[in-house]
């Protein structure tokens, strides 16, 4: 697996609508103990708080059983094809992916996607989020063609919804460059890094640190293509951005 990034949880308005008491009881039953001893209120945090804490701590394997229990309750109360169910499925997919359980993650995300498409529209932010998670999964598991196709769909949605200069567009351009490079397509990877440079200049200004980072990423690819002089020129552009204003050129 290659490093890809942090997948996106969706904590939507309906994600916790099933009720803390019902979910807490269901988790206890699943653990084989439906009658636990009383606990102080400070220790009986609601499941949504627990999930956020587990996510922030990177304890995804502990979050998965809670989410699985929540899925049962959500499907029962809102239906298998409801928006609330899609949100839990997406979060289960993200947690499973982070825990390294890729087949389970793909199954959960694959279920969430058509529900989002049906309930929010095929170009909604929710669809883009789940597609991004799927693309990350494909990239991390070496399925580069599927990753590229999926990231391209996300790119089209983000550009349509947010505009070509939106920060999310830059993230997807970078992912597409990474995917093409991992697939052995250095020329295409460089094209996307060049687009990323232009995007960062448009979004943040020509002397922003993100422009320098993108230039260095492009330079690394150019070196692999045997163009050392052009790589040095890109590095020099990046160095000029990093240099303090008024500093002499060396």
pLDDT, mean over the chain: 82
10 and 131 belong to one structural domain: yes
CATH code of 206's domain: 1.25.40
Same domain, residue pair 127 and 84: yes
Does some domain include residue 153? no
pLDDT value of position 22: 27
pLDDT for the residue numbered 90? 95
CATH number at residue 134: 1.25.40.10
More confident: 83 or 30: 83
Task: Give me the mean pLDDT over the 76-89 stretch.
Answer: 96
Residues spanned by the domain of 92: 1-28+48-141
* Half-sphere exposure at residue 232, Cβ-oriented, CA atoms within 13 angstroms: 4
DSSP state of 244: P
Q: Is the pLDDT of residue 71 over 90?
A: yes
Which pair of structure tokens corresponds to residue 11?
């904590």
In a domain, 82, yes or no: yes
CA distance 221 to 57: 34
Decide if 157 is inside a domain: no
Rounded Cα distance, 54 and 38, in Å: 23
pLDDT greater than 70 at residue 67:
yes
Q: Does residue 137 share a domain with residue 169?
A: no
Q: Which of 102, 125, 141 is the last residue of a domain?
A: 141
| pLDDT for the residue 58 | 85
Is 222 domain-assigned?
Answer: yes
Structure confidence at residue 83 (pLDDT): 96
Mean of the pLDDT values across residues 2-21?
41
More reliable by pLDDT, 37 or 106: 106
pLDDT category of residue 10 using cuts at 50, 70 and 90: low
Q: What percent of the chain has pLDDT over 90?
A: 69
Distance (Å) of CA 101 to CA 9, 67, 126, 189 = 16, 14, 22, 29
Q: Which of the two residues, 14 and 149, has the higher pLDDT score?
A: 149
Same domain, 226 and 123: no
Q: Residues 92, 20: one domain?
A: yes
Query: pLDDT band at residue 59, thresholds of 50, 70 and 90?
Result: confident
Please indicate, yes or no, if residue 15 is contained in any of the structural domains: yes
The answer to whether residue 167 scores a pLDDT higher than 60 is yes
Number of domains in the chain: 2
Q: Say yes or no to pLDDT of 41 above 50.
A: no
The Cα 103–Cα 54 span in angstroms is: 22
Q: Which DSSP letter does residue 16 get?
A: T
Q: Is 154 within the bounds of a domain? A: no
Whether pLDDT at 95 is above 90:
yes
Q: What value does the mean pLDDT take over residues 7-13?
A: 48
Model pLDDT, residue 37:
34
pLDDT at res. 245 = 52
Same domain, 106 and 186: no
**125 & 213 share domain:** no
Torsion angle of C-alpha atoms 220, 224, 225, 229, degrees rounded to 10:
60
């Amino acid at each position: 697996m290659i490093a890809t990034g942090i997948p996106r949880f969706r904590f939507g308005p309906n994600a916790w609508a099933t009720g803390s008491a019902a979910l807490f009881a269901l988790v206890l039953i699943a653990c084989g103990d439906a009658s636990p001893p009383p606990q102080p209120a400070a220790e009986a945090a609601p499941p949504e708080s627990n999930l956020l804490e587990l996510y922030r701590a990177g304890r995804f394997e502990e979050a998965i059983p809670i989410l699985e229990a929540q899925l049962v309750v959500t499907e029962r109360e809102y239906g298998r094809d409801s928006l609330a169910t899609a949100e839990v499925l997406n979060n289960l997919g993200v947690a499973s992916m982070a825990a390294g359980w890729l087949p389970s993650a793909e199954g959960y995300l694959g279920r969430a996607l058509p529900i989002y498409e049906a309930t929010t529209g095929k170009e909604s932010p929710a669809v883009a989020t789940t597609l991004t998670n799927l693309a990350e999964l494909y990239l991390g598991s070496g399925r580069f063609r599927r990753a590229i196709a999926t990231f391209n769909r996300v790119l089209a949605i983000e550009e349509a919804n947010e505009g070509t200069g939106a920060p999310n567009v830059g993230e997807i351009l970078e992912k597409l460059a990474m995917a093409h490079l991992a697939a052995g397509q250095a020329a295409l990877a460089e094209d996307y890094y060049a687009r990323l440079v232009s995007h960062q200049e448009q979004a943040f200004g020509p002397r922003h640190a993100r422009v320098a980072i993108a230039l260095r990423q492009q330079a690394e690819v150019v070196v692999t293509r045997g163009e050392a002089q052009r790589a040095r020129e890109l590095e020099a552009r990046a160095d000029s951005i990093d240099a303090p204003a008024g500093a002499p050129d060396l």
